[in-house]
């Protein structure tokens, strides 16, 4: 029996109605590029039905090294740091460690 300790990223983003289309477009592109990373196991973007400007991102990475590679990727800098973050009114990020047995 082996154990895999996935890293889960839970990100909560708030934006404004006027910036929402740009944030959603960039988040979609970020999802596409992140899923192409070898260590990215999943990347989902959810929009609140009660508050359209509230987004929740759930990302799962194979391990710490995969998360570090993700954060150092050029698409992370271009899309998250340069495009998305300036359009957010708040951003919270929480890291969790999955305890999965296979």
Which pLDDT score, from 0 to 100, does residue 4 have?
Answer: 65
d(CA 20, CA 16) in angstroms, rounded, equals 6
What CATH code is carried by the domain that includes residue 31?
3.30.70.100
Domains: count for the chain: 1
Which pLDDT score, from 0 to 100, does residue 3 have?
Answer: 47
Give per-residue pLDDT as tens, 24-82.
999 999 999 999 999 999 999 999 999 999 999 999 999 999 999 999 999 999 999 99
pLDDT band at 100 (very low <50, low <70, confident <90, very high): low
User: Which residues have CB under 8 Å from 98's CB, separation 6+?
Assistant: 4, 5, 6, 7, 8, 60
Give per-residue pLDDT as tens, 83-96.
999 999 999 999 99
Give per-residue pLDDT as tens, 2-30.
446 899 999 999 999 999 999 999 999 99
Domain that holds residue 28: 3-101
Q: What is the pTM of this model?
A: 0.88
């Amino acid at each position: 029996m082996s154990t895999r300790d996935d890293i889960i990223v839970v990100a909560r983003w708030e934006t404004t109605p006027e910036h929402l289309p740009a944030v959603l477009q960039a988040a979609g592109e970020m999802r596409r590029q992140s899923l192409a990373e070898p260590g990215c196991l999943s990347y989902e973007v959810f929009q609140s039905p009660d508050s359209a400007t509230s987004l929740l991102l759930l990302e799962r990475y194979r391990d710490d090294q995969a998360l570090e590679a993700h954060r150092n990727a050029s698409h992370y800098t271009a899309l998250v740091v340069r495009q998305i973050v300036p359009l957010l009114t708040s951003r919270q990020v929480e890291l969790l460690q999955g305890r999965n047995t296979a």
